[in-house]
């Protein structure tokens, strides 16, 4: 079964492995219209009921403090995800790594460069991802970070943003020496491939995160236990640039907040933020609906998921270009 992403008015064109893989990081947009003109409906309001406007519990929720949800979520996903990628024999892990390697190989071939040992590159890339996630989990520990009571943006960014991911890699000394993995690779080619590699490996990391989160949530009833705003953090995992547009104490994005607190006043000055939040929710709901309706089967599904995340990034970025 193909792993397609289709929403009401939001259809993602499947990436053809044969025709489009040579240019994997530039995908077709969702519609021919700009993101600012998108008027997308929520697919299924039962998926994320606490986040819909005019929730009957909204007044009582404002009085509660949800600040610890971020720490609970981050600790739970870090422990679970590290177990998931512990063995590189896991079919889904190897599928995503193979997908990333194929994308990188196609980009490198344009430069006349080839991968020397695909298995070694996959193995070392997975180890790099493990190093980053171990560093993330370390930063969530009270023994290492004694003052932590919630997850600040710089820690969240370690695994959920490309900039934070590679900043952590540099701090850990975990970056790979690109020229060791490619034949016929000079300084110029190495620099270009390094750029491709950084984007592709982080994208693979994101794809595995999203699949793992939804798999665990669907399979284990206690995975979201005691995290009242679990689904909000699912959205923030997919669209981390909205992290500061979320009031962690009240447990709402600024579009549902009071419009008077520090978070609201600072973020609502950005006229695009409400559209970004709406778009992020549309994509999150589309992903969950498709995940529930389909079974992950292999390479093409992994490729579709990476495409989905890339198009999401492109749509969110388009608001800033208006």
Q: pLDDT-derived band of residue 322, with 50, 70 and 90 as boundaries?
A: low
User: What does the pLDDT read at residue 2?
Assistant: 55
φ, ψ of residue 54 in degrees (nearest 5): 65, 30
Beta-bridge partner residues of 246 = 253
Question: What is the pLDDT averaged over residues 235-248?
Answer: 95
φ, ψ of residue 252 in degrees (nearest 5): -140, 155
Looking at the chain, the whole-number percentage of residues with pLDDT higher than 70 is: 80
Q: pLDDT-derived band of residue 105, with 50, 70 and 90 as boundaries?
A: very high
Beta-bridge partner residues of 6 = 11
> Is 39 part of any domain?
no
> Is 46 part of any domain?
no
> Is 42 part of any domain?
no
CA angle 274, 160, 232 (to 5 degrees): 45
Q: Which of 92, 241, 43 is nearest to 153 (CA)?
A: 241
Looking at the chain, the whole-number percentage of residues with pLDDT higher than 90 is: 62
Ramachandran sector of residue 145 (left: φ over 0; alpha: ψ -120 to 50; beta: rest): beta
> Is 158 part of any domain?
yes
Provide the mean pLDDT of the chain.
82
Q: Domain total for the chain?
A: 1
Q: Which of 269, 84, 110, 107 is nearest to 194 (CA)?
A: 107
Class of residue 320 by CB neighbours under 10 A (exposed 0-12, middle 13-18, buried 19+): exposed
Question: What is the pLDDT averaged over residues 278-284?
Answer: 96
> Is 20 part of any domain?
no
Would the pLDDT of 1 be above 90? no
Mean pLDDT is lowest, of 50-54, 60-64, 227-231, 237-241, for: 50-54
> Is 45 part of any domain?
no
Tell me the C-alpha to C-alpha distance, in Å, between residue 309 and each of 12, 122, 168, 200.
11, 21, 22, 12
* Domain extent for 275: 6-15+64-320
User: What does the pLDDT read at residue 88?
Assistant: 66
Q: 8 or 38: whose pLDDT is higher?
A: 8
Q: Which of 202, 158, 231 is nearest to 310 (CA)?
A: 202
Q: Which of 277, 310, 307 is nearest to 53 (CA)?
A: 277
> Is 26 part of any domain?
no
Question: What is the pLDDT averaged over residues 230-234?
Answer: 96
Would the pLDDT of 10 be above 70? no
> Is 238 part of any domain?
yes
Interatomic CA distance for residues 290 and 292, integer angstroms: 5
| Ranges of H-type helices in 220-272 | 230-238, 262-267
């Amino acid at each position: 079964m193909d792993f397609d992403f289709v929403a009401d008015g939001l259809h993602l064109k499947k990436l053809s492995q044969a025709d489009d893989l040579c240019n994997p990081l530039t995908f077709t947009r969702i519609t021919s219209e700009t993101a600012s003109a998108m008027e997308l409906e929520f697919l299924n309001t039962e998926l994320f009921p606490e986040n819909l406007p005019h929730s009957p519990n909204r007044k009582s929720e404002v009085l509660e403090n949800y600040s610890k949800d971020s720490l609970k979520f981050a600790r739970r996903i870090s422990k679970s995800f590290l177990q998931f990628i512990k063995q590189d024999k896991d079919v889904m892990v190897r599928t995503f790594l193979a997908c990333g390697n194929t994308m990188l190989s196609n980009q490198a071939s344009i430069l006349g460069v080839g991968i020397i040992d695909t298995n070694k590159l996959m193995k070392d890339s997975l180890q790099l991802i493990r190093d980053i996630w171990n560093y993330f989990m370390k930063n969530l520990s009270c023994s290492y970070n004694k003052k932590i009571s919630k997850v600040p943006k710089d820690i969240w960014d370690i695994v959920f943003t490309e900039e934070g991911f590679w900043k952590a890699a540099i701090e850990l000394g975990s970056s790979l020496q690109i020229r060791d993995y490619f034949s016929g690779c000079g300084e110029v080619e190495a620099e270009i491939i390094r750029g491709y590699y950084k984007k592709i490996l982080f994208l693979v990391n994101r794809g595995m995160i999203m699949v793992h989160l939804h798999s665990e949530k669907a399979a284990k009833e206690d995975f979201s236990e005691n995290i009242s705003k679990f689904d909000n953090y699912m959205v923030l995992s997919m669209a981390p640039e909205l992290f500061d547009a979320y009031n962690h104490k009240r447990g709402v994005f600024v579009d549902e907040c009071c419009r008077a607190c520090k978070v609201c006043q600072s973020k609502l000055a950005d006229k695009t933020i409400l559209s970004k939040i709406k778009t992020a929710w549309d994509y999150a709901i589309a992903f969950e609906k498709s995940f529930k309706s389909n079974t992950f089967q292999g390479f093409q599904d992994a490729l579709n998921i990476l495409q989905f995340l890339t198009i999401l990034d492109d749509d969110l970025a388009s608001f800033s270009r208006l």
